[in-house]
């Protein structure tokens, strides 16, 4: 597995973005990267599209080869919104990351870079045991129309396939990153799909609304209810689209 953390430290007028303070966002990215460095042993790529280089914060981890920090100037057309910007970030990492391109590991975990997935090790371990490397794993809503793009586990080739449709994404026209992701999940039958069988325990702040994500402990009772829901979602998805 390779963790791909996507970042935009200075959104500078990006539409549909409430959390815009660059210093606050930078602190959240740095904290999240430290979290993944300490809580996992996977290689990490941080790809950032506002041209702000934070590699000086991680000199030892970069030198050891554990972490790679990429930055470039993206978001040239802000009218398309942050979903299109997210695609640019992923694309830049796939094209320029030495860690990604030198690794024989096909699977990438794409995570919104300011967020901490508190149970990330459990998620990786369980889904690595149960599913093939071609399986794309992400949450999706009950009517299977809108996936959660905060964390996606997928093969490198899936992301390349997804990016072929990035020019369709335009937030101002109501076609978001999530809509494009949903279309690929349904139409690209060579990539098996599964929802998460355990709910990602996400800690952080939404860039769109500025609200904190819940950090309540997931109870055993809730976990069983969620597993039942996830298995039902998986069955309905294959009934409709496979």
Would you give per-residue pLDDT tens digits along the chain (242 residues)? 999 999 999 988 666 667 778 999 999 999 999 999 999 999 999 999 999 999 999 999 999 999 999 999 998 888 888 999 999 999 999 999 999 999 877 899 999 999 999 999 999 999 999 999 999 999 999 999 999 999 999 999 999 999 999 999 999 899 999 999 999 999 999 999 999 999 999 998 877 666 788 666 678 898 899 999 999 999 999 999 98
> What CATH number is attached to the domain comprising 163?
3.90.550.10
pLDDT at 16: 60
Q: Which pLDDT value is given to residue 209?
A: 66
pLDDT of residue 216: 64
Q: Residue 105: what pLDDT?
A: 74
CB neighbours of 59 closer than 8 A, spacing ≥ 6?
A: none
Note the pLDDT of residue 14.
Answer: 63
Query: What's the domain range around 36?
Result: 2-241
Q: Total domain count for the chain?
A: 1
Between strands 67-71 and 2-7, the pairing is unpaired
Polymer length in residues for the chain? 242
**Residue by residue, what is the 3-state secondary structure of the chain?**
CEEEEEECCCCCCCCCCCCCCHHHHHHHHHHHHHHHHHHCCCCEEEEECECCCCHHHHHHHHHCCCEEEEECECCCCHHHCHHHHHHHHHHHHHHHCHHHHHCCCCEEEEEECCCEECCHHHHHHHHHHHCCCCCEECCECCCCCCECCCEEEEEHHHHHHHHCCHHHCEHHHCECHHHHHHHHHHHCCCCCEECCCCCCCEECECCCCCCECCCCCCCHHHHHHHHHHHHHHHHHHHHHHC
pLDDT at residue 237 in the model: 95
* Residues 26, 92, 40, 177, CA torsion sign: positive
The pLDDT, as a whole number, for residue 107 is 94
What is the pLDDT at residue 150? 96
Q: What is the pLDDT of residue 163?
A: 97
Residue 215's pLDDT is: 61
Name residue, tokens 């129309």: 145
């Amino acid at each position: 597995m390779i963790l791909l953390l996507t970042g935009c430290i200075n959104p500078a007028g990006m539409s549909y973005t409430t959390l815009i303070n660059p210093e606050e966002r930078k602190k959240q990215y740095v904290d999240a990267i430290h979290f993944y460095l300490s809580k996992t042993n996977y290689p990490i790529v941080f790809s950032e599209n506002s041209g702000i280089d934070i590699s000086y914060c991680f000199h030892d981890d970069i030198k050891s080869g554990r972490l790679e920090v990429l930055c470039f100037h993206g978001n040239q057309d802000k009218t398309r919104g942050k979903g299109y910007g997210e695609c640019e970030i992923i694309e830049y990492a796939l094209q320029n990351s030495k860690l990604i391109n030198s690794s024989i590991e096909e699977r990438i975990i794409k995570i919104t870079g300011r967020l901490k997935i508190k149970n990330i090790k459990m998620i990786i371990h369980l889904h690595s045991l149960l599913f093939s490397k071609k399986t794309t794993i992400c949450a999706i809503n009950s009517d299977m129309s809108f996936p959660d793009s905060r964390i996606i586990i997928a093969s490198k080739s899936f992301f390349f396939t997804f990016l072929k449709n990035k020019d369709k994404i335009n937030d101002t026209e109501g076609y978001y990153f999530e809509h494009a992701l949903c279309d690929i999940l349904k139409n690209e039958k060579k990539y098996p799909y599964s929802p998460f069988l355990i709910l990602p325990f996400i800690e952080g702040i939404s860039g769109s609304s500025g609200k904190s994500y819940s950090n309540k402990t997931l109870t055993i009772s809730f976990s069983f209810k969620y597993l039942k829901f996830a298995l039902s979602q998986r069955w309905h998805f294959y009934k409709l689209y496979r």
